[in-house]
């Protein structure tokens, strides 16, 4: 029975009164902020009047952005803790509206800035040395200059944004509200409606008939709607290619990666290196087939855990374990972890109406809060250290950087979180001697690597292929998408497409294909984290110091330069090779344990 929130013990809930002491204080700030944003509209047309106007309007924009973020975070988290409370639904809607008004009020900023020459900027800088702190902020704008249109053209595109978002929104409504999946039988022999929420747990079933039925029920449903899904995906691809073209980019990929100042070679190196190491995935799947005792491995056999060992862990024990393991980063890191764990940064347990999943969130002026939905499992221990990694990254960045650089790019975000996961794996393997427990931990790591590096790279390869196909005049019909996806799946998994008919429709259920070249960052982040964790555990104090420098750097430099401070050159493939070396070593140990019968 899921508890009402009022029944939860306070120490297991986050303390949002540290953001706004009361709801009334939030409402007062919302009104004050709305008025300040309205007053800021009069700055349009004056950005480059003088060095003082450039400084003052830049700082006004940043000050209001900072307040908007704090306002939104409170409303969003209040809503997430219990989505049935109408008051906080209204707060979130109001905060979103204020953010939209802020964006509109400062829509003049970039187009006006584009009229600033380097010579004039240097003269302004000489007059106003206070501008120096914004050098990197301005440099990013200068670099984007050739891709910014006139103010009138940008306003036309901005006005069409709702239309541009139509394909993704249609997909979301179809996939989350309209589509209905069949009734299937679960492990207990009960008939249940198949949903997105229970699909993976059914695919993890030890009963192969349960897995097969869920798999076929899921993808046969997508088969029925394949033409509609193909149209929404094709339209989204066309939108991204169009927006890239009008902004004078050679491709949608270049446009997406340029936004984070990531060279396209990073993407190509990922695809090339992962493809080279596909035999390792095939070897792991062959071992999976052996452990499961199957004559022929199918796609519905890929998710079920190989280990029978239950490594259950309670929340309080998990906190102790996490604090102990993360102490490897040193005193500064440990002190902040302890604060997060003891000062109510974490909303721990499931309650009625609470948002599902887990995340780390907050703003520059708040704690780096974490939302969990705790279950006593090994997976949840990893979720705890993962979100703690995000929160410590945010904390170090905000403590070190001014607001203008007080965040970090998505490209860097997953590195800090998955480094913690890899550190946990290293620690567990170091302390656990029992073969069955080692088998469970190794299986957890290898499955995570498969799902994050191999699978997300497969997605990245598919995503790039469909954007290129559209650019070359190919029509993205369901038949075209099915064939492309089936071929890629056969290449990655080594399982014949003729024997795995339904997997060709999987592309239709992946929301990330609407996120515009996002998924590759999961794979690069995990691989970089694997490389860094090995250096931190087996390296020197200097390696740890370099890693902490990365955590503190935020957006003060370009992403590849920031991660280079930790000792990773992501422009080259060495970090990927190092990650595959760890994967192969752990796969070899798992094979040895299977030979000893540890899985039995």
Does 126 score more than 70 pLDDT?
yes
pLDDT tens track for 569-588: 999 999 999 999 999 999 99
Query: Strand 183-185 to strand 191-193: parallel, antiparallel, or no bridges (unpaired)?
Result: antiparallel
Q: Which CATH number is associated with domain 265-307+384-600?
A: 1.10.1370.20
Q: How far is 123 from 125, CA to CA, in rounded Å?
A: 5
Q: Could you report the per-residue pLDDT of 260-305, keeping only the tens digit for each? A: 999 999 999 999 999 999 999 999 999 999 999 999 999 999 999 8
Share of the chain above pLDDT 70, in %: 100
Q: Which fold has domain 8-159?
A: Butyryl-CoA Dehydrogenase, subunit A; domain 3 (1.20.140)
Q: For 542-571, what is the HEC assignment? A: HHHHHHHHHHHHCCCCCHHHHHHCCCCCCC
Q: In the 8-state DSSP scheme, what is residue 175?
A: I
b/e map of 265-304 (b: 16 or more CB within 10 Å)? ebbebbbebbeebbebbeebbebbbebeeeeebbbbbbbb
Within 41-148, residue ranges assigned H as helices are 51-81, 86-105, 109-113, 118-127, 135-143
* Residue 600 in this model has a pLDDT that exceeds 80: no
* Nearest residue to 302 (alpha-carbon basis) of 313, 311, 291: 291
pLDDT tens figures, 329-347: 999 999 999 999 999 999 9
Q: Where in the chain is the domain with CATH 1.20.140.70?
A: 8-159
Q: Chain-wide mean pLDDT for the chain?
A: 96
The CATH 1.10.1370.20 domain(s) of the chain lie at: 265-307+384-600
Q: What is the pLDDT of residue 343?
A: 98
Residues 180-200: what's their mean pLDDT? 94
Phi, psi (deg, nearest 5) at residue 406:
-85, 25
b/e for 97-111, b at 16 or more Cβ within 10 A?
Answer: ebbebbeebbbbbbb
Q: Sort 30 into a burial class: Cβ within 10 Å, 0-12 / 13-18 / 19+.
A: buried
Sign of CA dihedral 65, 67, 73, 75: negative
DSSP code for 193: E
**CATH superfamily membership of 180-224:** putative peptidase helix hairpin domain like (1.10.287.830)
For residue 415, is pLDDT > 70? Answer: yes
Mean pLDDT, residues 88-102:
94
User: What are the pLDDT digits (tens) for 448-475?
Assistant: 999 999 999 999 999 999 999 999 999 9
Above 70 in pLDDT, residue 1?
no
- What pLDDT, on a 0 to 100 scale, did the predictor assign at position 429? 96
Provide the 10 A C-beta neighbour count for residue 57: 22
* Each residue's pLDDT tens digit, 369-404: 999 999 999 999 999 999 999 999 999 999 999 999
Instruction: Indicate the SS3 state at residue 191.
Output: strand
Burial class (CB in 10 A: 0-12, 13-18, 19+), 569: exposed
59-84 burial by CB neighbour count: b if 16+ within 10 A, else e? bebbebbbbbbbbbbbbbbbbbbbee
Domain(s) of CATH 1.10.287.830: residues in the chain: 180-224
Enumerate the active-site residues. 387
pLDDT for residue 151:
78
Q: Per-residue pLDDT for 2 more than 80?
A: no
Closest CA to 548 of 366, 362, 334: 334
Identify each DSSP E strand in 145-209 by its residue range: 183-185, 191-193
């Amino acid at each position: 029975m899921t508890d009402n929130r009022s029944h939860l013990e306070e120490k297991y809930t986050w303390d949002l009164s540290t953001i706004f002491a009361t709801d009334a204080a939030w409402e007062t700030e919302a009104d004050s902020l709305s008025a300040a944003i309205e007053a800021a509209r009069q700055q349009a047309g004056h950005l480059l009047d003088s060095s003082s106007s450039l400084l003052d309007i830049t700082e006004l924009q940043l000050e209001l952005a900072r307040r908007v973020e704090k306002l939104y975070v409170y409303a969003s988290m209040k809503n997430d803790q219990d989505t049935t409370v109408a008051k906080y639904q209204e707060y979130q809607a109001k905060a979103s509206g204020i953010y939209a008004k802020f964006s509109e009020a400062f829509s003049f900023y970039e187009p006006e800035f584009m009229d600033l020459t380097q010579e004039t900027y240097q003269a302004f800088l000489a007059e106003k040395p206070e501008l120096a702190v914004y050098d990197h902020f301005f440099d990013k704008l200068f670099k984007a200059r050739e891709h910014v249109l006139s103010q009138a053209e940008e306003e036309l595109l901005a006005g069409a944004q709702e239309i541009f978002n139509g394909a993704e929104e249609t997909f979301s409504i179809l996939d989350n509200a309209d589509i209905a999946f069949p009734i299937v039988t679960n492990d207990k022999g009960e008939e249940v409606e198949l949903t997105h929420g229970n699909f993976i747990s059914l695919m993890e079933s030890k009963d192969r008939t349960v897995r097969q039925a869920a798999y076929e029920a899921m993808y046969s449903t997508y088969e029925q709607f394949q033409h509609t899904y193909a149209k929404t995906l094709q339209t989204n691809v066309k939108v991204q290619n169009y927006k890239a073209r009008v902004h004078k980019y050679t491709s949608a990929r270049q446009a997406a990666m340029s936004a984070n100042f990531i060279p396209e070679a990073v993407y190509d190196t990922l695809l090339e290196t992962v493809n080279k190491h596909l035999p390792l995935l095939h070897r792991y799947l062959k071992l999976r087939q052996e452990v499961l005792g199957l004559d022929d491995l199918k796609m519905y056999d890929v998710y079920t855990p190989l280990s029978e060992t239950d490594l259950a862990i309670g929340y309080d024990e998990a906190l102790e374990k996490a604090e102990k393991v993360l102490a490897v980063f040193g005193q500064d890191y440990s002190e902040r972890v302890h604060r997060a764990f003891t000062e109510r940064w974490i909303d721990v347990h499931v309650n009625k109406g609470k948002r599902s999943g887990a995340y780390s969130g907050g703003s520059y002026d708040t704690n780096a809060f974490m939302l969990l939905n705790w279950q006593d499992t090994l997976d949840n221990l990893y979720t705890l250290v993962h979100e703690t990694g995000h929160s410590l990254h945010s904390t170090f960045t905000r403590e070190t950087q001014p607001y203008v650089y007080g965040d970090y790019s998505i490209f860097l975000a997953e590195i800090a979180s998955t480094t913690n996961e890899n550190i946990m794996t290293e620690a567990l393997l170091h302390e656990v001697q029992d073969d069955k427990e080692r088998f469970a931990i190794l299986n957890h790591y290898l499955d995570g690597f498969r799902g994050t590096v191999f699978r997300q790279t497969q997605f990245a390869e598919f995503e790039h292929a469909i954007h290129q196909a559209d650019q070359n005049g190919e029509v993205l019909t369901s038949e075209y998408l099915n064939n492309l996806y089936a071929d890629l799946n056969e290449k990655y998994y080594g399982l014949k497409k003729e024997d795995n008919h339904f997997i060709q429709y999987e592309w239709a259920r992946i929301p990330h294909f609407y996120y515009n070249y996002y998924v590759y960052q999961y794979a690069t982040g995990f691989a970089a984290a694997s490389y860094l964790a090995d250096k931190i555990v087996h390296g020197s104090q200097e390696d740890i110091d370099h890693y902490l420098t990365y955590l503190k750097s935020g957006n003060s430099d370009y992403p590849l330069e920031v991660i280079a401070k930790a000792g990773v050159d992501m422009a080259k493939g060495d970090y990927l090779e190092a990650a595959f070396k760890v994967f192969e070593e752990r796969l070899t140990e798992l094979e040895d344990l299977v030979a000893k019968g540890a899985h039995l």
